[in-house]
Amino acid sequence: MAALVRKAVFPVGGLGTRFLPATKALPKEMLPIVDKPLIHYAVDEARAAGIEEFIFVTGKGKSAIEDHFDHASDLDAMLRSRGKAEAADELNSWVPAPGKVAYTRQQEPLGLGHAVWCARHFIGDEPFAVLLPDDIFLADVPCLKQMVDAYSGRGGMVAAETITGPDISNYGVLDVAKDQGSVVSVRGLVEKPSPADAPSDLAVVGRYIMTPKVFEYLDRKETGAGGEIQLTDALSWLAVEEEFAGIRIDGERFDCGTQAGYLRANVAFALQRDDLRDGLKSYIRTLDLGA
């Protein structure tokens, strides 16, 4: 049976000013967690969920992302000439096949909804995923795979996480119609509400599945929170038109859009590595961590 969700959109046009000066000449999506760029984690996760076509919505200064997902013949030849065929094969193993990756530019920074709208002609008439590379997950079953496995093939679905306190205002928040445990049915979403106005404590975290019906709303170019064209507003409209679910993700999420989350992710992912774990643990044990 053909996979229900075959295409994924990666909005990578953002400036990453929080990480200056690192992001002056480097796309923020290329910042490494241990030794792999953030965007690479999102692409691996998409592939593990059955995604076959990868659509990047880019902007100025993002060509390093295209180079990263391209065949590098010079590097390949150099590694082979030095007897490192295995390393060369590894580098080739995750490069998308010709024609399976597309790049389009979001010409103006008009918001996440606008970025997704820029990918509309690549999507055609089938449900698709959106992955925000700032959020990465440590999970036995990759986040998007958990979603695809639970997706009915109709309507939309978002990854959700409970956020307590004022931080809820940094997220899209679910208006829950029925809470069925790991999956909740959703009647609407609100982008970055004040804590008092948040319809629940369930926030959207960086992974989405939606039908192309969402473009009917995005075509209108209506602006929302922050004067931007918000994906959350389009999904709130979709939740009225079609069935819509949130799924509590089994695993740990790292918000690599902040320095603190980025640092935590580096530690957590390094501790997963057999070649780094012991050394890192011994270093941490030597630290005087205070109270």
- Footprint of ligand G1P on this chain (CB under 6 A)? 112, 132, 134-135, 171-172, 191, 203-206, 232, 257
Residue 41 in contact with residue 133, Cβ under 8 Å?
A: yes
In the complex, what is the shortest distance from the CB of residue 90 to ligand G1P, in angstroms, rounded to a whole number?
30
Shortest Cβ 49–ligand G1P spacing (Å): 18
Residue at shortest CB range from ligand G1P: 172
Task: Please state the closest distance from residue 229 (CB atom) to ligand G1P, in A.
Answer: 11
> What share of residues in the chain are helix, strand, coil (percent, to 5)?
40, 25, 40
**Other beta carbons within 10 Å of 20:** 10
CB neighbour class for 47 (10 Å; exposed up to 12, middle 13-18, buried from 19): middle
Instruction: Pick the closer one to ligand G1P by CB: 65 or 79.
Output: 65
Q: How many CA atoms lie within 13 A of 197 on its CB side?
A: 10
User: Please, what is the Cα angle at 106 between 104 and 259, to 5 degrees?
Assistant: 105
Query: Which two three-digit tokens encode residue 56?
Result: 């990047």
Distance of closest approach, residue 205 Cβ to ligand G1P, in angstroms: 5
Q: How many whole angstroms separate alpha carbon 230 and alpha carbon 224?
A: 6
Q: Which is nearer to ligand G1P, 53 or 134 (CB)?
A: 134
**Beta carbon of residue 132, minimum distance to ligand G1P (angstroms, whole number):** 5
Q: Which of residues 90 and 167 has its CB atom nearest to ligand G1P in the complex?
A: 167
Identify which of residues 204 and 238 has a Cβ nearer to ligand G1P in the complex.
204
Query: What is the sign of the dihedral through the CA atoms of 133, 146, 245 and 53?
Result: positive
Q: Cβ 267 to ligand G1P, closest distance in Å?
A: 20
CB closer to ligand G1P, 137 vs 171:
171
Looking at the Cβ atoms of 88 and 208, the one nearer to ligand G1P is 208
Quick one: DSSP state of residue 126?
S
CA–CA distance, 244 with 241 (Å, rounded to integer): 9
